[in-house]
Structure 1
Amino acid sequence: MSALLLHTAQVHVATFDRLRDEIAPGLALRHVVRPGWLTEARQGQTEGLDARIAELATEAQAAGQSFLCSCTTLGPLVERQGGLRIDRPMMQAAARIGGRILLAHALDSTRGPSLDLLGSLTDARSQIRALAIPGAWPLFEAGETARFHAYIAGAIRADLAARGADVVVLAQASMADAAPLLEDLGLPVLSAPRQAMLALATRE
C-alpha cells in the first residue's frame, strides 16, 4: 500500500505524514515537492506542467501507487491524469450538506477550479458564495502560519456575521488549521487534507 503525493509547499509533507499515522498507518507515502509549479500555474503556463504531471502519474501507476495532489490550483491538471485532487472529497461533503455554502480561498488561482468543482456537485437549491482572502497569502509565504490561519478565521467570522452560511469550505490545504479556530460557530467547517487522506485509504 503506497501513494505518491505532489505538493507545492514543504509544509504539507508533515501534515499528510501525521494524517497517515492517524488514519492509515500501513500506507507508505512518497512526497514530491515542487513550489515552482504553483507559480507556473498562476501565470497560466500549463503546457509544460501537463507533461511533468503526466510523468509523475505514469511513475505512480508503474509503481502501483495512488496519486494525490495537495495543491488546489493544480488539481484539475492532476485529475486529467487519473490522480486525485485534494479538494474533491471535501467538495462532495459540502454538496451533501448543501444550502448556503461559503467557499473561502486565499489565492485567485484557486477560485476558478474550486467554484467549477463545487458547482458541478451541487444542485440548484444550493447557494455558493466565494470569499477571497488575499491578505492572508503573504503571511503563508513568509512562514507565519499562526497569523495566516488567524487572519483567515477572522475574515470568515466577519463574512458570516454579515451574511451567514450553512457550511464553510476552506478551499486550500494550507488553510486547514483555521478550522479549529472556528469550532465555536456551530456549523460545519470543512478542510481538504483529512478527507483526502480518508479517500486515499479507501482507494488502497
Structure 2
Amino acid sequence: MTLALLHTSAAHVPVFDALRDADHPGLTLRHLVRAHLLDRARAHGPDAAADGVRAALADAMAAGADAVLCTCSTIGGVAESHAADAGVPVLRVDRPMAAAAVRTGRRVTVVATVASTLEPTTALLKEEAARHTRTVDVTTVLVDGAWERFEAGDQEGYLRRVTDAVDRVEGADAIVLAQGSTAPAAARATTAVPVLASPRTGLRAAADLCQRRRTERGRT
C-alpha cells in the first residue's frame, strides 16, 4: 500500500516516518513537501492555496498513491474538497482528532501557533459535532511567539510555549492541538484535561483508507 502525504513543512517527514515504522510497517509513504502553500494560505486564506493543492494531489496520483493524507490543518479542508479531482481518497490529518474531541465533551479548546489554522480547525470541530449529532462550544488559543521559534529551528522553545499554553487552559472538556508540529506537547502537558494530537490517529485512518482502496480495486 502507498500513502502520499502532503506537507507544508519538511519537519513532518521524520515524524510520520517514525509513526509508520512503529504502527504500519507495511505502508509505503511518499512525502510531498509544499511549504509555499502554507505561505499563500496565511497571506490570502486557505482557498488561495487551491491550485497548488490540486497540483500536489495530481502528483500523488501519478506516484501511484492509494490515498493522500494532508498533514497541514490550514489547507486540509481545501485538500479534501478536491478529492474527486484527485481520483483517490483524501483525508485531512486532524479529522480523526476532531471526531475524538467532540465525543469527549462539549467544551473544546483549540491551541494553535498560526492564526490561519484557527478558523479551519474550528469549522472542522463543528462539522464533526454535527456529524455525530452533538453540540460543541469551541474556544481558541493562539500561542504568542511560538511560530517564530519553530521557524528559527528552536523546537524546544516552540514546544515549551505550546505546553505552557495548554496547561493554562481552563473550563475545557478536551484540548485540541491544531497542528501536527505541536503534538509532542500532549505528552509534556500536566493538565488533567485530555489533550489530543493529530499525527498518530490521522495516519491510522489514512492507512485504513489505503487498505479499503486496495480491497475495492481487487473487486473490480
Q: Same fold (TM over 0.5)?
A: yes
In the other structure, the counterpart of 2:181 is 174
Q: Which string of whole-angstrom CA distances, capped at 9 and with x for unpartnered residues, describes residues 93-146 of structure 1?
A: 101112221111111100110111111222564321111113211011111111
- The code of the aligned residue for 1:37 comes to L
Alignment TM-score, normalising by the size of structure 1: 0.91
Q: Give the root-mean-square deviation of aligned CA atoms.
A: 1.7
Is the Cα–Cα contact under 8 Å of residues 108 and 173 in structure 2 kept in the other structure? yes
Cα distance, 1:27 vs structure 2: 0.5
Is the Cα–Cα contact under 8 Å of residues 109 and 140 in structure 2 kept in the other structure? yes
Give matches, 1:19-38, under 5 Å. 19-38=19-38
In the other structure, the counterpart of 1:159 is 169
Consecutive unaligned residues in structure 2, runs of 5 or more? 84-89, 211-220
Q: Secondary structure at the match of 1:134?
A: coil
Consecutive unaligned residues in structure 1, runs of 5 or more? none
Matched pairs, number: 200
In the other structure, the counterpart of 2:217 is none
Q: Secondary structure at the match of 1:30?
A: strand
Inter-partner Cα distance in structure 1 for 2:172 and 2:47: 38
Q: 1:103 to 1:22 in 2, by over 3 A?
A: same
| 1:65 lines up with 2:69 in the alignment | no
Is the Cα–Cα contact under 8 Å of residues 109 and 141 in structure 2 kept in the other structure? yes
Q: 1:188 to 1:33 in 2, by over 3 A?
A: same
After TM superposition, the structure 1 stretch with the greater mean CA deviation from structure 2, 185-194 or 43-52, is 43-52
Inter-partner Cα distance in structure 2 for 1:147 and 1:71: 21
In the other structure, the counterpart of 1:134 is 144
In the other structure, the counterpart of 2:56 is 56
| 1:97 lines up with 2:104 in the alignment | yes
Is the Cα–Cα contact under 8 Å of residues 32 and 56 in structure 2 kept in the other structure? no
